Amino acid sequence: MRAFFIKLANLNRTIIYLIITLGVITPLVVPLNLGQKMSPPTENLYTYIDTLPKGSHILISADYDPSTLPELQPMLEAIIKHAIIRGVIPMVMSLYPEGTGLGIQACEKAKEELGARPDTDYVVLGYKPGFSAVILGIGEDIKKVFPTNYSGVPLDSIPAMKGVKNYKDIALTVSLSGASTPLAWVTYAYTKYNEKLATGVTAVSAADFYPYLQTGQFVGALMGMKGAAEYEYQVNKLLEKNGFEKGKSVFAVRGMEANSIAHFLIMLFIIIGNLGYFLSKKRREA
């Protein structure tokens, strides 16, 4: 038995890669249908958007690039769909050049699947460089920061932008980011203008943002693919309830199933590795 564990602990890494690959691929090909229960940070964000009056505006900043797409894009798509179903108008912008295309992609999906109308049901504002200047500028007048939408149409002539001047007219700002950009929103939009904020972050930076939930600086948060899957699952249920045939997405839900198997395997490897280490140490001492 001891020899077996020692052998396992010294397993060639190629075999470990292979086991992990199989562990990730299998649940993608054969879905496990585990379901998703909302954690409090996700539930707070979902409830906040769900209870906004019709015609309210939310600002979504896609502050990420394709390198974090698997975790953040499902969040963006789910939030946009949720807002549109509830009659809330999402305004999509980005502080990253690469985020613009991802924002447009998510809006195009909502247009195609839910029949959402650009500039009426949603607005794509596009990209502006300069983090702090943009966030502070929106607090004064959004039309000075974004005189036109992404397609070059002046904001004054866009029906969905009627009555929107600054944060006072924006019920919530959501920053989706793979870096520390949400902190810039906390510093400038929340602290200076008292804007309600929420965030969606990659799992690697999730632990850094929990303290800002405790203080109420974020009304809610989506933490990594887990948060994305929880929100996606809830929006799917809402789509079903409202009789939408298209629009359901299970990208993050399926991804989370693969993640669960991978986590299980990693825990197993840690236990085997440690057992092998201690057993071989004992043998050396003996």
Tokens of 81: 């769909």
One of 9, 262, 272, 275 touching another protein (CB under 8 A): 262
Footprint of another protein on 98-117 (CB under 8 A): 98, 100
Residue with tokens 């896609």: 62
Among 88, 113, 116, 112, residue whose Cα is nearest residue 245:
113
Query: In whole angstroms, how close is the CB of 282 to another protein at the nearest point?
Result: 25
Geometric angle at alpha carbon 222, from 216 and 225, rounded to 5°? 160
Helices (H), the chain: 2-9, 13-29, 40-50, 69-85, 97-114, 131-140, 142-145, 181-185, 191-193, 203-214, 224-241, 251-285
Reported as half-sphere exposure (CB side, CA atoms, 13 A), residue 234 has a value of 23
Instruction: Record the tokens describing residue 28, joined without a space.
Output: 């993608």
Instruction: Output 32 or 279, the one with its CB closest to another protein.
Output: 32
Distances (CA, A) of 75 to 9, 102, 228, 233, 277: 38, 12, 5, 11, 41
Q: Which phi and psi angles does 149 have, rounded to 5°? A: -80, -175
139 binds another protein (CB under 8 A): no
Within 189-228, the residues that bind another protein by CB under 8 A are: 190-192, 202-204, 206-207, 211, 214-217, 223-226
Instruction: Name the minimum Å distance from CB 139 to another protein.
Output: 12
Kindly tell me which residue out of 9, 34, 38, 136 binds another protein, with binding defined by CB under 8 A: 136
Distance, CA of 285 to CA of 74 (rounded, Å): 52
Q: Which is nearer to another protein, 3 or 28 (CB)?
A: 28
Within 146-165, the residues that bind another protein by CB under 8 A are: none
Residues 34 to 73: which contact another protein by CB under 8 A? 44, 65, 67-71
Nearest distance, CB of residue 233 and another protein, angstroms: 13
Q: Which residue, 121 or 184, has its beta carbon nearer to another protein?
A: 184
Find the shortest distance in angstroms from Cβ 119 to another protein.
19
The residue within the footprint of another protein, chosen from 3, 8, 87, 97 (CB under 8 A), is 97
Q: Which residues make beta-bridge pairs with 62?
A: 176
* Number of residues lying near another protein (CB under 8 A): 54
The closest of 59, 67, 134, 56 to 102, measured between CA atoms, is 67
Backbone angles phi, psi at 77, to 5 degrees: -60, -45
Task: Return the number of the residue (6 or 250) whose C-beta is nearest another protein.
Answer: 250
Comparing CB distances to another protein, the nearer of 166 and 187 is 187
The binding site for another protein (CB under 8 A) comprises 17, 20, 24-25, 28-29, 31, 44, 65, 67-71, 97-98, 100, 126-130, 132, 136, 183, 186-188, 190-192, 202-204, 206-207, 211, 214-217, 223-226, 250-251, 254-255, 258-259, 262-263, 266
